[in-house]
Structure 1
Amino acid sequence: MIMEFLKKSFFFILIGVAIIVFLLFNRHDTPDTDAKLTPVPDPIKEEAKAKDDETANGIVIVDVKGAIKKPGIYDVSPDARVHDVIELAGGFTKQADQTMVNLAQKVQDEMVITIPQTGDDADGLSEATGTVGQESKLKINQATQTEIETLPGIGPSKAQAIIDYREENGPFQTIDDLLQVSGIGEKTLENFQDAIQIP
């Protein structure tokens, strides 16, 4: 009886076994497929990300000259102030005219800080305060409040507004950026735009 049943059902049993074997193999392949789909770190993207992080947390290079104990080139953080660079350079010499330097100014990459000596002539002072001797233009991104006040149509409040904007938003990139400063309109800008330099 059983043998007859097995003979008659052999074909169906064979199909059932084949289906079970197929399902077992198919289930076994699934992890391999998932493993192939698992994201693998891309070395190029990882290197680019590392460079971006380095830029974000990077350094700026500043050149310190003049009446300073250890003149030279210094690497500092982007949020450093002139005061921090002066300390790295050993501090002022006895001859330094500290009144001509804005110690609170934020540094920027490729910035030159020249510390004048007491009694330096106008040329020496112009280099320290950001004015290019040959062009006689004021470097607005490095000038102190006193220097900015010498511009036509700029008083103490507008000079301070320029410095505040510069410290909050970074160096001016174009002349038109000055129109974003509170109190500076197109006519005011026209009065002094030829007297300033923006790198």
Structure 2
Amino acid sequence: MDWIRLKLAEVLGTNQPVSKKLLVLMVCLVAAGVFLINAITSPKELAVSVPAQADETEVIVKPAEIFVHVVGEVQAPGIYQLKSGARLMDAVFAAGGLSKLADQSSVNLARELSDGEQVVVFRTGEAPAAAGPNSKNSRISLNQSSALELEQLPGVGPALAGRIVDWREANGGFKKKEDLLNISGIGDKLFAGIKDEVIL
């Protein structure tokens, strides 16, 4: 811009013809305009702040302790508090060990337990057949069977099967077969007819 001002002062301050002065003035104005337009439209470096991406890695923290419900052929069935990562053998040990009637092959003692799990230790000869639950040669598990499977019991319809499941969930499972007598619709006669058809 300084050279434009100097050139303008030089031309206007001399005895140059008016037409030449105007020509120089126009050239200077055009040059100044080009300079200004170039300054305005030239790209500027913008400081763009890129927000740091949040760490999307989800950390799953295992509880320090778990609760396991042990039922069936153990010395003291019940709910036990164990350390996280405990094995099924730890739950059986907490429940006083296996009873003399327990079928050790019905459970995997080395399996790791999860919080809220129910462990069922079957009596020898009572474990569900390998072909599938509740086949003709196996009895129906009160603690594991669905309402539909419970309907296979003599005298048990959909409504009563639903009440059995509801009672099981509300009371943490069946501790003994006689718990069935606490359910509305099951009296001594019906109980006598199904007690040999069920296991815990």
Give the structure-1-normalised TM-score.
0.40
Give the structure-2-normalised TM-score.
0.40
